[in-house]
Copies of this chain bind each other. A is one copy, B any other.
Amino acid sequence: MDRPADNTRERILRTATRVFAEKGYNRASVREICQAAGANGAAVHYHFGDKISLYREVLRPAAELTEIPDELRADDTPLRVGLEAYFRPLRTLANDRQMPHMHLLFMREQMQPTGMLTTGWSDFFRPRHEQLCRFLCRHCHAEVIDDAINQLALSLIGMGMMLFLKPDIVQAFAPGLTRDDNALEATLQRLTDQATVLVEMEAERRQQH
């Protein structure tokens, strides 16, 4: 059973995510978050510290997106296993009801950066992009990251982005893809199949040259 303190923490965090998303960091106030969450300022201070620390905690799920799965790093990971590991964190995000707020926060961070996500998407995603490129190089027998490897990586990133980071579009066009756990797993497997075939095509193209 959850301790009440944990419930309060969760409630403040969920409310803060929504309020920061709707108003932006500067216009959101801790007082407003407290009121909406039915909590007092002492509870916010106890669990999170000051406003910027609360905001950092709100952004944590986004920061986790930049973590690189061990499978992608290891030298002996089979192609399909690595790609599935690459897409799996997106699956968790698609399950997260906070995701629309998170997406809004990402957009705000691009338009009015608070500095919490460094300088925006590009620095934010670079380590993951480069790790994916190195994994692709290994499986395509490419010695350096060239245009074709870069494009392949961007295609794979885009395929996952659209499905999981644009929940409003998926909801509107294809609700069956993220309806429940089974649907999400099927979607992840299809995505991995698609990614695998694209990498195999690139590996083959290189062998022919």
Residues of A bordering B, CB below 8 Å:
104, 107-108, 110-111, 120-123, 125-126, 129, 146-148, 150-155, 157-163, 166, 168-174, 176-177, 183, 186-187, 190-191, 193-194, 197-198, 201
Contacts and interface: CB of A to CB of B under 8 A. Distances in A.
Nearest to A120: B168
A170 B122 CA distance: 9
A63 to B, nearest CB: 18
29 contacts: A104-B110, A107-B107, A107-B110, A108-B111, A120-B168, A121-B168, A121-B169, A122-B169, A122-B173, A126-B172, A147-B176, A147-B186, A150-B176, A151-B187, A151-B190, A151-B191, A154-B159, A154-B163, A154-B170, A154-B174, A155-B191, A155-B194, A158-B158, A158-B160, A158-B162, A158-B163, A159-B159, A194-B198, A197-B197
A191 B147 CA distance: 12
A147 B104 contact: no
A194 B201 contact: yes
In the complex this chain forms, how many copies of it are found?
2
Nearest to A174: B150
B125 A169 contact: yes
Contacts of A153: 173
Contact of A174 (B121, B151, B168, B193): B151
B157 A162 contact: yes
A177 B123 CA distance: 18
Contacts of A158: 158-163
B163 A151 contact: yes
A160 B183 CA distance: 25
B193 A201 contact: yes
Contacts of A173: 122, 126, 129, 150, 153-154
Nearest to A107: B107
B163 A177 contact: no
